[in-house]
């Protein structure tokens, strides 16, 4: 009997209109206080989860128990038309099969592969087209408090990735009273020192885990964007109540 090689993928969603697949990997080298996986491990954009971001957390979500094998992943994806793939969830970069999965995605579907990562450790990026970096903080004491780890390796990897010329963007979470205007400006300044052309997305904190922070207001998000624009040309702040453009469905 052939033994199946298991991936770290526990959930797959698909957006039919854009032919976009999201592969959700389990396992992370950080333990972020506000990690959304503490609230829900599956895609927040599924219709049954759209109400969740604004709900008060009452429990910590269970860890996934079911994972897909590499063979079954390919069988599942072969049934779909695929243009873009997001490798997300927790840290896709930690799956030993990451290089094999991205190579198969390129070979079989010629997809545009985007890795969403905290870039604490990096896999082979030979078949990765873009990296969406989740930068928690540039002030190390804030980074340590929020994630449990120093950001030294993260900042060094950010510089190396830019030197390697891999297309990238950065997102950070705006948390009133914690990672707010001052730290958002620090992040924008750091990105600008490396490359002023990198797009920067500012995301609003949604309550997850048991933290004292609240969801930011529209005005706070606009102020954060305005501050970041002093340093960078491509800045966008999300408010968290944007309309969904396309339906997202669960595949696994």
Which residues in this chain contact ligand SF4 in the complex, by CB under 6 A?
A: 28, 30-32, 35, 37, 90-91, 118, 134, 147
CA 186 to chain CA centroid, nearest Å = 20
CA 132 to CA 130: how far, in whole Å?
A: 7
CA distances from residue 241 to 58, 116, 137, 216, 244 in whole angstroms, order as listed: 21, 22, 24, 12, 9
Residue closer to ligand SF4 by CB (options 90, 102) is 90
Closest distance of CB 213 from ligand SF4, Å = 14
Closest distance of CB 87 from ligand SF4, Å = 12
Residue closer to ligand SF4 by CB (options 147, 237) is 147
Closest distance of CB 172 from ligand SF4, Å = 11
Alpha-carbon Rg for the chain in angstroms? 18
Cβ-contact 87, 112 below 8 angstroms: no
Closest distance of CB 146 from ligand SF4, Å = 8
H or E stretch covering 109: helix 98-109
231: which residues sit within 8 A by CB, 6+ positions away? 185, 188, 189, 191, 192, 196
Residue closer to ligand SF4 by CB (options 91, 220) is 91
CA 57 to CA 50: how far, in whole Å?
A: 14
Residue closer to ligand SF4 by CB (options 12, 132) is 132
Residue closer to ligand SF4 by CB (options 64, 134) is 134
Closest distance of CB 95 from ligand SF4, Å = 13
């Amino acid at each position: 009997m052939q033994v199946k090689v298991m991936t770290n993928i526990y959930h797959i969603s698909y957006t039919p209109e854009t032919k976009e697949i999201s592969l959700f990997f389990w396992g992370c080298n950080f333990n972020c206080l506000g990690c959304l996986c503490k609230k829900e491990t599956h895609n927040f954009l599924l219709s049954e989860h759209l109400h969740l971001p604004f709900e008060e957390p009452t429990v910590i979500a269970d860890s996934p128990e079911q994972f897909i094998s590499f063979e079954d992943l390919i069988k599942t994806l072969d049934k779909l038309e695929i243009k873009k793939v997001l490798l997300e969830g927790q840290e896709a970069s930690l799956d030993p099969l990451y290089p094999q999965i991205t190579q198969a995605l390129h070979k079989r579907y010629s997809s545009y592969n985007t890795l969403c990562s905290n870039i604490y450790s990096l896999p082979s990026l030979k078949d990765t087209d873009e990296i969406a970096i989740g930068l928690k903080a540039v002030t190390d004491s804030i980074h340590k408090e929020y994630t449990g780890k120093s950001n030294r390796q993260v900042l060094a990897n950010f510089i190396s990735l830019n030197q390697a010329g891999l297309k990238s963007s950065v997102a950070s979470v705006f948390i009133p009273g914690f990672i707010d205007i001052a730290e958002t400006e620090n992040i924008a300044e750091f990105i600008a020192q490396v490359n002023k052309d990198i797009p920067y997305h500012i995301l609003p904190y949604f309550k997850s885990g048991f933290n004292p922070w609240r969801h930011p207001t529209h005005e706070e998000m606009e102020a954060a964007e305005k501050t970041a624009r002093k340093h960078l040309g491509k800045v966008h702040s999300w408010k968290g109540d944007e309309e969904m453009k396309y339906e997202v469905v669960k595949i696994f």
